[in-house]
Amino acid sequence: MTRILIAEDEPRIVRFLVKGLQAQGYATATATDGVDALHLARTGDFDLMLLDLGLPGMDGLDVLAELRNQKTVLPVIVLTARTSTDDVVTGLDGGANDYVRKPFRLAELLARIRLQLRTEQRAEEFVLHNGDLSLDLRTRQAHVAGRTIDLSSREFALAEMFMRHPGQVLSREQLLSNVWGYDYDPMSNVVEVYVRYLRNKIGPERISTVRGAGYRLVREADE
Ligand code: CA
Three-state secondary structure call for residue 188: coil
Return phi, psi of residue 79, to 5°.
-105, 120
Q: What is the mean pLDDT of the chain?
A: 87
How far is ligand 1, taken at its centre, from the CA of residue 19, in Å? 18
- Rounded distance from Cα 212 to ligand 1 centre (Å): 69
pLDDT in tens, 7-41: 999 999 999 999 999 988 899 999 999 999 999 99
List, by residue range, all CATH 3.40.50.2300 domains of the chain: 3-121
Q: Where in the chain is the domain with CATH 1.10.10.10?
A: 127-217
- Domain 127-217 fold is Arc Repressor Mutant, subunit A (1.10.10)
* 71, 95 contact by CB (below 8 A): no
CA of 67 to the centre of ligand 1 (A): 19
97 CA → ligand 1 middle, Å: 19
Q: How far is CA 177 from CA 159, 180, 183, 194, in A?
A: 14, 6, 8, 14
* CA of 55 relative to ligand 1 center, distance in Å: 5
| Distance (Å) of CA 184 to CA 72, 116, 173, 174, 192 | 45, 40, 10, 12, 14
Kindly state which CATH superfamily the domain 3-121 is placed in: Response regulator (3.40.50.2300)
The structure's pTM equals 0.55
* Ligand 1 center–CA 89 separation, angstroms: 18
Measured in angstroms, how far is the CA atom of residue 116 from the centroid of ligand 1? 22
C-alpha of residue 102 to centroid of ligand 1, in Å = 10
Tell me the C-alpha distance between 70 and 159, whole Å: 42
Give residue 47's pLDDT band: very low, low, confident or very high (50, 70, 90).
very high
pLDDT tens track for 110-144? 889 998 888 655 544 678 889 999 998 878 889 99
Name the phi and psi angles at 41, rounded to 5. -60, -30
Largest separation between any pair of C-alpha atoms in the chain: 73
